[in-house]
Amino acid sequence: MTISSPSSQHRQSSQATINADLVNADLVIEARWLAAVNSKNTLLEDYSVIVQGGVLVNLLPTTQARHQYTATSLVCLDEHVLIPGLINGHTHVAMSLMRGIADDLPLMAWLNDHIWPAEQAVISERYVKDASLLGCAEMLSGGITCFNDMYFYPQATAMAVSQAGMRANLGLPVLEFATNYASDADDYLQKGFEAHDSWRGNPLITSSIAPHAPYTVSNQTFEKIVTYAEQLRLGIHTHLHETHDEISQSEALYGVRPIQRLADLGLLGPNLVAAHGVHLLPHEIDVLAEYGCHVVHCPSSNLKLASGIAPVASLLRSGVNVGVGTDGAASNNRLDMFAEMRLAALLAKGVSGDPTALPAHQALEMVTINAARALGLNDKIGSIEVGKQADLVAVKLSDLALSPCYDPISHLVYACGREHVTHTWVAGELRYSHGVYANIEPVELKEIVQTWQPKLKPYKH
């Protein structure tokens, strides 16, 4: 399906008659506000972005842009703020079909008694492709252009990502125990590397090695992962310090807390993305900062599973790069970065007792440029700057529930919801607009739900 935006105006023909020297661009977006999320936290008014070949080639005042450029596609957004595409820093997108299957349970009971048995019953390449497409649709409609994933059959997730036209960093999962996907740690690694090789030519997909957690991966396997990550120049994505049980188990089995164990094994470094980081001692925060590790805060999931609240203000104060993630839809139950951004800001204030602990502009950075930095993609995405990929999102601020608007950045964090997203572009291609997807049909999503819900319903808590 080809999206034609109702906001598009065909001004280029009249422009051409005024000035034959106009430069033609693939896409020009005229926005009321532009939140660049750059080093100066710039908010520009009445600005245009110029896109050629999927790349941002110019940013300039709209009046000036109209005298310099014509466009194959011109989109006028006089009631919107244009922001970088949101980045979901930690998720399991194929758990979208398990939304609501096991609520109001602690993490280990949730995993052992419901999620893992359900996965054992349904996990297959087809399931992961279908469930991932459902999750991609949800994320695109909420302004998420990139996500950092960890799940079985990553090549199936890559198929869904390619259909949706999104950007993703796909984890190559590693566990010690057998699942439908692999028999042991070496089998996981081998299958993961084969998947990695299969999407090397896709500019929208990157890879990381994704050992599930310290409590499901052995020392020997972690040591192999360090070697492979260095050889292949891949990041490492894992759950870390999510619950008290995880820490107690590590102390009982290894005599140290998980962070110390990973440090001893050589895993800590600027290529490590640690999801959660809920239970951190002050010296452990200093260790994460010293090694340049990244933490992804998942506030809704951590609250819902009663895991706790990550010390985000302390992490930021110590210089740790912090992004934000939804976790999977089975533990959230939404893939909604607007909700996560707002909750992250409010929790940081409430826990620290400091209303300035996480201001709106910094919360926006956490779901854009900070997350891009964690994935090693900050030279390509995460901000609206010349030379970067045109991953862009338009958020309409004129709704009555959002009026009046004194500060668009404040509104993005404290007032807006994903329902205010009207356009989502990835690499300059419009992938979602006003309820319509470029490459996903609603009937396909309905058929996916109808196929898999009966198979999963017996595992409902």
**Residue 461 pLDDT grade (very low, low, confident, very high; cuts 50, 70, 90):** confident
pTM of the model: 0.95
Mean pLDDT of 98-103: 95
> Pick from 62, 103, 26: which is nearest to 329 by CA?
103
pLDDT tens sequence across 373-431? 999 999 999 999 999 999 999 999 999 999 999 999 999 999 999 999 999 999 999 99
> Pick from 344, 406, 428: which is nearest to 167 by CA?
428
- Torsion from C-alpha of 209, 210, 213, 218, nearest 10 degrees: -40
Mean pLDDT of 45-72: 98
Return the pLDDT at 11: 45
pLDDT of residue 12 exceeding 90, the answer is no
CATH code: domain 86-374 is 3.20.20.140
**Residue 21 pLDDT grade (very low, low, confident, very high; cuts 50, 70, 90):** confident
Q: Contact, 458 vs 452, CB < 8 A?
A: no
pLDDT tens sequence across 325-384? 999 999 999 999 999 999 999 999 999 999 999 999 999 999 999 999 999 999 999 999
> Pick from 233, 241, 236, 206: which is nearest to 223 by CA?
236
Handedness of CA 213, 217, 219, 224 (dihedral sign): negative
Return the pLDDT at 6: 42
Return the pLDDT at 458: 92
pLDDT of residue 17 exceeding 50, the answer is no
The DSSP element (H or E) to which 148 belongs, if any, is strand 144-150
% of the chain at pLDDT higher than 90 = 92
d(CA 277, CA 279): 6
Quick one: tokens of 434?
A: 């006003």
Mean pLDDT of 61-90: 98
pLDDT of residue 9 exceeding 50, the answer is no
Handedness of CA 370, 347, 144, 32 (dihedral sign): negative
Return the pLDDT at 1: 46
Q: In sequence order, what DSSP letters do the residues of 220-233 get, joined into one string?
A: HHHHHHHHHHHHHT
Q: Per this entry, what is the length of the chain?
A: 461
| CB-facing half-sphere around the CA of 138: CA atoms within 13 A | 26
Q: Please tell us whether the domain made up of 12-84+383-437 is placed in CATH 2.30.40.10.
A: yes
Return the pLDDT at 19: 58
Which sequence spans correspond to the domains of the chain? 12-84+383-437, 86-374
Name the H helices within 43-174.
62-68, 107-110, 116-122, 125-141, 154-164
pLDDT of residue 61 exceeding 90, the answer is yes
Average pLDDT, the chain: 95
pLDDT of residue 2 exceeding 70, the answer is no
Which phi and psi angles does 226 have, rounded to 5°? -60, -45
Listed in sequence order, the residues at least 6 apart from 59 whose beta carbon sits closer than 8 Å to its beta carbon are 34, 36, 44, 47, 48, 49, 50, 384, 385, 386
Return the pLDDT at 3: 58
Quick one: tokens of 256?
A: 């140290």
Mean pLDDT of 11-31: 71
